[in-house]
Structure 1
Amino acid sequence: MPDLTMPPQKLADYLRKSNIALALSSTDEDAPLVLVNDSFCALTGYAEEDVIGQNCRFLQGEDTTHAMRQPLHDFVHGEGPDAGRFPVLNYRKDGTPFHNYVYMSRMRDRSGEVIFILASQFDMTGALQRSKVRKNDGTLYDALTDISQITREFGLAMQESSQLLADSVAVMARLTLDDPY
């Protein structure tokens, strides 16, 4: 029987190769990290050995509000859909704050039990300062909703943008859960 606290080797190799900052946690106890890639380390300033076994909340700091924390907490504890996007103010190892958009997906085994949470990290600090991303997100969501409605009339399907982003890496990762070794 495979060790469910560690990802299958194919999954680990795929995540490590990604240029997107990725973190994988188990669902045991306090959702400790079991894998982070080089992009995650570059984004946060932490080395892999500094973070494995810890919950990602170590990235939060004094200006990270309860309103930012609560949706992350709820997701990790199984509430809501299996994928989502969570804006949160995080801090690098050197104390520099950054606006992190965390895209998370629950990863289930064949029996349907959630065994991992995959988190993609995106530093949106510059984009928030330049373009008012939150307002644009609303406009984009409205446009995608309209487009989705139109495409359904032609028998096409389209996922919401946030879910698509959350699932983009997880799709390949989930395939490796069916063939773990």
Structure 2
Amino acid sequence: MASILQQMFDRSSVALTLADENQEDCPLIAINNRFTEVTGYPAEDVIGRNCRFLQPTGGAGPVRDDIRAFIDTPDRSEGRFLIANVTRDGTPFLNIVYLARLHGPSGERFILGSQFNVDLDQSRVFIYERSLRESLNDIRNLFSDHDWTMLGSMSAIANSAALIAQFRLDREGASE
């Protein structure tokens, strides 16, 4: 990963990942400390693997196909997905993942992931289990008005992270 992106990852309080689209199966090439805090996975267990390892046994349902469609559609610059994941110790959580495509100065293609853990209180556990069986493209039933405001904030944060990362990649390319 470009050193300029590494600095951004090191300072971010948002869980971030970077996958290499140029490699088969889009393996993760970088994570930050916040990602480790959210998932329990240290870098040595993550780097070189596709992020599917976060899915529960049996997969994460049709949302996985939605993510695959994003990856397979190069002209889509960003996407938002609600996916069932599990931490390293097996604790289930819902992960709102924002994906954004980045382009390096030498033609590299990356996918920046910004992850936000949705707390699972008892009243929402059924949503986690349902997400294993069906796509959550319409997540209105999950969130209150306050939560929608929070989602807007998460989106703004994720978009800002993607813009900053792309700017840094562009700047690094211009200085070469």
* Coarse TM-score class (shorter-chain normalised): 0.7 to 0.9
CA RMSD of aligned residues (A): 3.0
Q: Which residue of 2 aligns with 1:146?
A: none
Unaligned runs of 5+ in 2: 128-138
C-alpha spacing 1:78/1:93, structure 2 compared with 1 (3 Å): same
Where does residue 122 of structure 1 map in the other structure?
116
Question: What's 2:135 paired with?
Answer: none
Aligned residues: 156
Does residue 175 (structure 1) correspond to residue 167 (structure 2)? The answer is yes
TM-score, structure 1 length as denominator? 0.73
Corresponding residue number in structure 2 for 1:9? 3
Distance 2:65 2:157 in 1: 21
Distance in 2 (CA, whole Å) between partners of 1:136 and 1:92 is 21
Say if 2:16 is the partner of 1:22. Answer: yes
SS at match of 1:179: helix
User: Which range moves more in the overlay, 83-92 or 102-111?
Assistant: 102-111
Q: Alignment partner of 1:134: what SS?
A: coil
The letter of the residue matching 1:82 is S
* In 1: Cα distance, 2:60 partner to 2:12 partner: 30
Q: Whose Rg is larger?
A: 1
> Secondary structure in 1 aligned to 2:41?
coil
1:117 maps to a residue whose letter is: I
CA contact (8 A) 2:114 2:158 kept: yes
C-alpha contact (below 8 Å) 2:116/2:154 kept by paired residues: no
Equivalent residue of 1:174, what SS? helix
**1:2-26 alpha-carbon deviations (Å, 9 max, x no partner):** xxxxx21111111121010000010
TM (normalized to structure 2)?
Answer: 0.75
Q: After TM superposition, give the deviation of residue 77 of structure 1 in Å.
A: 2.2
Among 100, 107, 111, the residue aligned to 1:105? 100
* Cα separation, partners in 2 of 1:77 and 1:39, compared to 1, 3 Å: same
Query: Higher mean Cα deviation, 35-44 or 117-126?
Result: 117-126
